[in-house]
A and B are shown apart, each in its own frame.
Chain A
Amino acid sequence: MDVILNLNELQLDALREVGNIGAGHAATVLSQMLNQRVEMEVPRISIVPLGEICETIGGAELPMVGVYMRVFGDVTCRMLYLYPRNSALSIADFMIGRPKRESVVIGEIEGSALKELANILTGAYVYAFSAFTKLNMLSSVPGLAFDMAGAILNSVLADIGEQTDYALVIETKLSVADINATGHFFLVPDPDSLTLILDALGVKGGCQQSSGSECQN
């Protein structure tokens, strides 16, 4: 049975709440670090067929900067940060302390700044997630790619395909208005870990046919 397709409304709410807390911490950290107002949207939780995942971010060929990290420990997840090119450059400029719009390429220093940002945000996110669920979690070093969104997403999600045709994606949009930058970050729990996370959240309940069975998107 596919756990992902049988989540009820209560379980989805619990996962959304975890996403909210994690992303809230991450947004606070980002705001303190950049000393800028950071806006965060309520996390969107979606169950997406693996083949259609690119459509959710606006097309497979869209050039994006992706920073990818694995989370492991009691549960395993993937975290992916996706920025449009200009946002990535603005954030890099800001972190390095350059004047606005000075960077024109994602070189080694710019990449390093973005990876460090991912490290810090994931640290905050995972810390909150872990404190809330009492599950142990650690994150890997980040990897960076500047490429087509489709290529980035299918590389990150490919091996989930061994277990399921769907991915559960908790997506948050953050924007820093002053430097005109937006970024999306995605938390994708591995299918095996989903049951553990739900248990830790106290919304086990298997797949009761509650009112929430129509929650596939």
Chain B
Amino acid sequence: MSTVFRVGMSELKTATPKDVLMALGLGSCVGVCMYDPLIKLGGMAHIMLPDSSQARELSNPGKFADTAIPALLELMEKNGALRRRLIVKIVGGAQMFSISGNDPRLNIGSRNVTAVEEALAKYGLKIAARSVGGNLGKTITLDTETGIVNVKTFNCPVFQL
């Protein structure tokens, strides 16, 4: 039996084969999945905000893109993953409400995506697949047996990354 681990807002977790990582209801948040196919180790971060430099509260590295990516990478490597083998997929970063107009500075979703991309590039990680932006919330699961990420949007069929 596989166990499903929920990755809540600003958490990061890893899971070994047969287990499933899941992030529910990603809106402006970004879910980052890392997977090492050789040892079948999966990792997921549920990132809330782009940048920790404005923050007053720094106790939780999983909250910000610039701190969550290195923290998740470190956790993966500590559990035996190799950086060059990692397959990275990102999902989320939607703009659910458009009351702030089209000003990109006020769109947390797209700022999250940009910050995640920059942080991944900084550590030499390439993005294998993505489903970002738009205005729909998403639920994702990462199957550590196969590395497949299932993306569920409300009212639409599930698709795979």
> Which residues on A are within 8 Å of B, measured CB to CB?
2, 50-54, 60-61, 63, 66, 68-70, 140-156, 158-159, 161-165
**Inter-subunit contact A147/B99 (CB<8 Å):** no
**Inter-subunit contact A68/B138 (CB<8 Å):** no
Q: Which of B21-29, B71-79, B123-131 touches A?
A: B21-29
**Inter-subunit contact B108/A158 (CB<8 Å):** yes
**Inter-subunit contact B56/A164 (CB<8 Å):** yes
B90: shortest Cβ distance to chain A, in Å? 16
> Which residues on B are within 8 Å of A, measured CB to CB?
8-11, 24-29, 48-49, 54-57, 59-60, 63, 94-99, 108-109, 135-139, 154-155
**Inter-subunit contact B48/A147 (CB<8 Å):** no
17 A–B contacts from the bound complex (CB under 8 Å): A51-B10, A61-B24, A66-B97, A68-B97, A141-B99, A145-B137, A148-B139, A148-B154, A150-B26, A151-B27, A154-B48, A155-B94, A158-B28, A158-B29, A158-B49, A161-B57, A162-B56
**Inter-subunit contact A50/B154 (CB<8 Å):** no
CB contacts (< 8 Å) of A50 on chain B: these are 9-10, 48
**Inter-subunit contact B24/A60 (CB<8 Å):** yes
**Inter-subunit contact B25/A150 (CB<8 Å):** yes
Q: What CA separation (Å) do A156 and B136 show in the bound complex?
A: 14
| The one of A51, A144, A150, A163 that contacts B27, using a Cβ cutoff of 8 Å | A150
| The one of B29, B60, B98 that contacts A154, using a Cβ cutoff of 8 Å | B29
| The one of B25, B26, B55, B96 that contacts A162, using a Cβ cutoff of 8 Å | B55
